[in-house]
Structure 1
Amino acid sequence: MSLFSGTPKPEEVFTPRSSDVNRRSYIPRPDLEEELAEGLTESQHLIIFGESGNGKSWLYKRVFETERVSYEVINLVQASRLGSLGAAFQDRLSRNEELEKEAYELVKSGGIKPQGVGVDFEGTWTYVKGKKEPFERLLAYIRKKAGRGKAVIVLDNFEQISSDADLCKQVSNCIILLDDPTYSQYEVKIVIVGTPAGIDEILSKSDNLQTISTRLKEIPEVERMTPNEAKSLMRLGLESALKLKVIGNSDIFYDRMLKVTDRIALELQELGLKIAKEARKKDGKIDQVVFDRATTKWAKNSIRSTCAMLADRLNSNETKAARRNQCLYACGEITKDTFTYKDVEAKIRELFPETTKNVALNVSGELSKLSKDENPLLRRIESQKSYRLSSPKVRMAIRTMLAIKEGKVVRVINDI
Structure 2
Amino acid sequence: MNASTFTTRFRAAMMPTVPSPLAMLSHGKGARVWDVEGTEYLDFLGGIAVNALGHAHPVFTRAVSAQAERLAHISNYFASEPELALAERLTRLTGGDAVYFTNSGTEAIEAAVKLARRTGRPRILSLTGSFHGRTMGALSLTGKPVLQDPFRPLLPGVEQIAPTIAALEKALADDVAALVVEPIQGEAGVVDLPDGYLAAARELTSRHGALLILDEIQTGIGRTGDWFVYQAEGVLPPGAAPDAVALAKGLGGGFPIGALVGFGAAAQLLQPGQHGSTYGGNPLATAVAGAVLAEIEDAGLVANAALRGAELRAAIAGMASPLVAELSGRGLLIGVVLTRPVAKEIVAAAQERGLIVNAAAESRVRLAPPLIIGDAEVAEFTEKFAAALAAVAASTPTGATA
Q: Point out which structure has higher relative CO (alpha carbons under 8 A, 6+ apart).
A: 2
More helix, by proportion:
1
Does TM-score exceed 0.5, indicating one fold? no
TM-score by length of 2: 0.27
TM-score by length of 1: 0.27
